[in-house]
C-alpha cells in the first residue's frame, strides 16, 4: 500500500495545495512543493503558526513567496496568468523568502540589475514590477489574517525603470521565409497565421473552434473572439484570407477545443524554446512574437489599406464597427487581408506541408 496522504493536502498538477480548517481558520493555499514529504512539513509549519497566533497572540509574518502563491491561485482565470507566473518565478531567488514588510525598492535592485544584464528591456522589467506591485498592494489592501489584520501594513513605492523603449521590428518577406523554415511545423503554422491575421500571441494560442462562424451568403468563415478573451474587452472579428483559411483547414483534425493544439493540449505561448531557436538560426535575434503583428499592420499599409480598415483588422476599435458586421463590411475586410497573400502564396502554403 502507498503512503497515506495527510488530510488537507490536495495535489493540483505537480504541486500540493492545502485545503484545511485549523482552529476555525480556513487554509486554502499552495505549499509550493511537488514532494509530498516537504508539503507535509509546510502544512505542519502552518498549523503551528496558527496555534501560536491563537494561543499566544503571535502575529505571523507572511513571506513574498506565500503572497505570490495566493495571487496565482486567486487569479488563475486571468488570460495573462502564465506570464505573471513566469515573472514571479524569476523574482523568487531575490525576495521569495523575505517577509512582506522587508520587500522594497532596494531589495529589488539586484533583480532589476540581473534582468537588465540578461538583455531584458526596461518595458519588460516594468511589467515584472507591475506584477510584484500588484501582489504587495493586495497584501496591504485586501488580504487579511485570521484576526482581520492586513498581511502588510503599507505597500512600498516601486519606481519604474528608465530605458529606451523598444521599437517595433517588422520582418521582410525574405526574413519570413528564413524564420518559418527553421520552425517546427506547428509553430510555423502559428507564426504564419499571425502574419496573415494580426492576432496577438495569446489570441492565437487560445483560439477556439467554437468561435468560428459561417458568413451568411458567403462561402467562408470568420472567427469572432469574445470580449471576455479580447485585450480591448470587445468582441473581435478575424477575417481569413486564403493562407489563413488553408491553415485552419489543415488544423481541423488536430485539435478538439483549440485550433492550435499541440501534443494534445493548448499551448501557453508561442515564445518558447523553439521560437527562440528559430529566430536565432534565422539571424533575427531580437524578434518578438508581437513583431509579427507589427509586420501585418505594416504590410497592410504598404498595400494601400486605409487607416480605418487597418484599425478594424488589428482590433483597434474606434466605435465605427460593432460585432454586427454586414456582409459588405466583412467582404471588405477579407479583400484587405487577401492583398497579403497575392505575393509569395505558393511558398507559404508549401511550408505548411512539411512533415
Show me where the domains of the chain are located.
9-141, 173-352
Instruction: Pick the range with the lowest mean pLDDT from 43-52, 74-83, 187-196, 225-234.
Output: 225-234
Per-residue pLDDT for 323 more than 60?
A: no
Q: Of 145-149, 268-272, 273-277, 321-325, where does mean pLDDT reach its minimum?
A: 321-325
Alpha helices by DSSP H, listed for 212-266, are: 242-251
Q: Do domains 9-141 and 173-352 have the same CATH topology?
A: no
pLDDT higher than 60, residue 324: no
Residue 3 has a pLDDT of 63
Q: Express each pLDDT in 166-179 by its tens digit.
A: 788 899 999 999 99
Query: Which overall architecture, per CATH, does domain 173-352 show?
Result: Orthogonal Bundle (1.10)
Q: Give ∠ CA 153-156-157 in degrees, rounded to 5.
A: 145
Domain 9-141 is in which class?
mainly alpha
| Residues forming beta bridges with residue 225, ordered by sequence position | 236
Rounded to the nearest 5°, which phi and psi values hold at 59?
Answer: -85, 125
β-bridge mates for residue 349, sequence order? none
Nearest to 204 by CA among 216, 188, 217, 219: 188
- In whole angstroms, give the CA distance from residue 330 to residue 57: 66
Sequence-ordered strand ranges (E) for 226-338: 236-238
Amino acid at each position: 500500500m502507498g503512503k497515506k496522504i495527510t488530510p488537507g493536502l490536495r495535489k493540483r498538477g505537480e504541486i500540493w495545495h492545502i485545503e484545511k480548517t485549523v482552529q476555525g481558520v480556513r487554509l486554502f493555499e499552495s505549499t509550493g512543493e511537488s514532494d509530498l514529504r516537504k508539503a507535509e512539513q509546510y502544512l505542519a509549519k502552518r498549523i503551528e503558526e496558527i496555534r501560536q497566533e491563537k494561543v499566544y497572540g503571535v502575529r505571523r509574518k507572511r513571506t513574498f513567496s506565500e503572497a505570490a502563491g495566493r495571487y496565482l491561485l486567486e487569479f488563475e482565470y486571468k488570460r495573462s496568468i502564465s506570464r505573471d507566473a513566469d515573472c514571479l518565478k524569476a523574482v523568487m531567488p531575490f525576495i521569495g523568502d523575505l517577509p512582506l514588510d522587508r520587500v522594497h525598492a532596494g531589495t529589488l535592485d539586484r533583480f532589476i540589475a540581473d534582468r537588465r544584464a540578461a538583455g531584458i528591456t526596461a518595458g519588460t522589467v516594468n511589467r515584472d514590477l507591475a506584477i510584484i506591485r500588484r501582489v504587495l498592494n493586495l497584501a496591504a489592501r485586501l488580504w487579511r489574517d485570521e484576526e482581520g489584520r492586513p498581511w502588510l501594513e503599507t505597500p512600498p513605492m516601486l519606481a519604474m525603470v528608465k530605458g529606451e523603449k523598444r521599437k517595433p521590428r517588422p520582418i521582410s518577406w525574405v526574413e519570413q521565409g528564413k524564420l518559418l523554415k527553421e520552425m517546427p511545423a506547428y509553430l510555423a503554422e502559428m507564426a504564419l497565421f499571425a502574419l496573415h491575421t494580426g492576432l496577438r500571441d495569446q489570441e492565437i494560442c487560445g483560439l477556439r473552434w467554437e468561435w468560428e462562424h459561417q458568413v451568411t451568403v458567403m462561402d467562408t468563415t470568420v472567427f469572432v473572439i469574445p470580449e471576455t478573451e479580447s485585450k480591448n474587452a470587445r468582441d473581435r472579428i478575424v477575417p481569413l484570407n486564403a493562407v489563413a483559411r488553408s491553415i485552419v483547414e489543415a488544423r481541423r483534425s488536430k485539435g478538439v477545443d483549440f485550433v492550435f493544439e499541440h501534443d494534445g493540449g493548448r499551448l501557453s505561448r508561442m515564445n518558447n524554446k523553439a521560437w527562440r531557436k528559430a529566430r536565432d538560426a534565422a539571424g533575427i535575434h531580437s524578434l518578438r512574437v508581437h513583431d509579427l503583428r507589427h509586420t501585418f499592420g505594416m504590410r497592410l499599409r504598404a498595400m494601400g489599406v486605409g487607416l480605418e480598415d487597418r484599425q478594424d483588422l488589428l482590433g483597434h476599435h474606434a466605435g465605427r464597427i460593432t460585432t454586427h458586421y454586414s456582409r459588405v463590411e466583412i467582404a471588405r475586410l477579407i479583400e484587405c487581408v487577401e492583398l497579403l497573400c497575392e505575393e509569395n502564396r505558393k511558398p507559404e502554403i508549401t511550408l505548411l506541408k512539411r512533415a
